[in-house]
Structure 1
């Protein structure tokens, strides 16, 4: 089962919903097993009761913030996250790696301008997933063959997989013998982030490693930096539906307002009203009388009463109003 809302929103409701839903579920569809990760749920229910349970779950949340859908077992198997759960003829289960039908096996190309350890990390991740998920040796052999074939299409030489596999086996042996390498006790003196340049960054990294300084590499040129933005940036004065700020040039007060029209249009209106208010000449009695009347905006009121000058040059569009 799954919910179309974001994982963060789902987590807020799911703990409460789980308790209520399982407690009040009809006996004929009460789940025997309920395992959830964020908004994905694996459950075991009686045959042909998944639809009834789903309807019950959608009734528990009266706000309709979470909408449950369900997927039933097909051909004795069902996916859950990256795992394919397969029911064997003897009623036991085995686990395999699950890939969607739309999965393309496209990984970081070996010819791309990235450090070698990042490419080896792709190999390590796929092999580690195979070892952690797949439960039967025969399926592990098939999964490794699939990994080799997929990585070969991405340009990975055979030695990359063999080297990573050997490193993982050696690490497992050290872990079994409970031996710690001498470098594991050494603490790094710091981390340096450098732009990646093939052949140069590796030498710098090796030099810094001699001084117990870790190195991270990042690309200095990306496609995002090179391509033109799909949309031209809109000038602040032409932005509609915004919140804006206009400071006074004679004191510390600031006016904050919002408008559905463009920022520039509303600024011009404020400016005209303020200029009109500042041009009026008041005697002492007329100024006192004017203080009991309000102008069209707080800005023109401030100009008329305090005889201050507005700093129009520092006016700015704060944000687009949602």
Structure 2
């Protein structure tokens, strides 16, 4: 993708002032006008048949990018705040949920860390008020939330390289263990294990979806539809359409997966799959 970007930008006569990309989301500052921006988008989409860009322009001086709302200030500089979609409900792990207290505390801390990381000085206080209200509605004690906010503020007052390094973090435990969380019992087990330098993590014993039956009937594996297509450098494609190919009750996807992880030699695969397997595993042309 880096090569595509460099070639696309270098082959256009006007350049963006800023080009920042995270995976497949790109933030650019374009100083050449709206019409020229549309032409630049067409130029990007003409570079490769399988790469297509869509575009969202700023509205009222604001533009969301990932979880950041970027806004244009009166002096021309850019401000930033936490962005939430219109469908966001402010629902988080409820404080009454049967989870370890540390997991609930991490919900509060992670939201506050995001607030201090993303928000600028103008939007930080309003973001903290919003989080305090939302967490209170999710059952969290306001005093605990404010205490966490104070701790996070102290942490972010330190230099960035010192924020995530503590003496405890630098120590390697003898072992790490994940156990089901049962209130009152798991904590005692964790305290005993800690004496032996074993770090304990917790998971849920039962979740709601385990108790609620699925709303749909189970479909037999041999009736699943699918399309598998593997392009070849010769210009042809290998594909199987309509129904998943069954080989003694095993799907084509299962066979290829086994081969890719090294559990099945290529020479033992059926003849009709041998060429496909070579291509998928990188041994064929």
Among 183, 192, 201, the alignment partner of 1:216 is 201
- For residues 94 and 201 of structure 1, the distance between their equivalents in structure 2, rounded to whole angstroms, comes to 45
1:25 is matched with: 12
Map of 2:175 onto structure 1: 190
Higher helix share: 1
The structure 1 residue matched to 2:148, chosen from 164, 185, 193, is 164
Whole-Å Cα distance in 2 between the matches of residues 98 and 145 of structure 1? 15
Deviating runs (4+, > 4 A) in structure 1? Answer: 169-176, 178-182, 238-242, 258-263
Alignment coverage as a number of residue pairs:
237
Distance in 1 (alpha carbons) for counterparts of 2:90 and 2:243: 49
Identify the residue that residue 99 of structure 1 maps to in structure 2. Answer: 84
Larger relative contact order (CA 8 Å, sep ≥ 6): 1
1:69 equivalent in structure 2: 54
Gaps of 5+ in 1: 1-13, 243-257, 267-314
Aligned pair in 2 of structure 1 residues 202, 174: CA closer, same or farther (>3 Å)? farther
Question: What 5-or-longer segments of structure 2 have no aligned partner?
Answer: 227-239, 255-285
CA deviation string 1:187-225 (max 9, x = no partner):
311011110111221222122222221001011112232
2:33 paired with 1:47: yes
Distance 2:225 2:130 in 1: 53
In 2, distance between residues paired with 1:16 and 1:112? 48
Deviation per CA, 1:132-189: give whole Å up to 9, x if none.
11121x421111000001111111111221232243345457879x798654554311
Checking the alignment, whether the CA contact within 8 Å between 1:193 and 1:215 is kept in structure 2 is yes
Assess, with a 3 A threshold, how the Cα gap between structure 1 residues 240 and 206 changes in structure 2: closer, same or farther: closer
Instruction: Report the 3-state secondary structure (helix = DSSP H, G, I; strand = E; otherwise coil) of the residue aligned with 2:179.
Output: strand
Picking from 114, 122, 131, the partner of 1:147 is: 131
Pairwise CA distance, 1:55: 1.0
Looking at structure 1, the residues matched to 103 and 128 of structure 2 have their Cα atoms a distance apart, in angstroms, of: 20
Structure-2 separation of matches of 1:182 and 1:228: 47
Instruction: Give the TM-score of the pair, scaled to structure 2.
Output: 0.72
TM-score w.r.t. length of structure 1: 0.65
Q: Distance in 1 between matches of 2:130 and 2:26?
A: 28
RMSD after superposition: 3.2
Q: Is the 8 A contact 1:107 1:154 kept in 2?
A: yes
Q: In the superposition, relative to structure 1, how do residues 317 and 213 fare at CA in structure 2: closer, same or farther (>3 Å)?
A: same
Structure 1's 169 and 31: CA in aligned 2 closer, same or farther, altered over 3 A?
Answer: closer
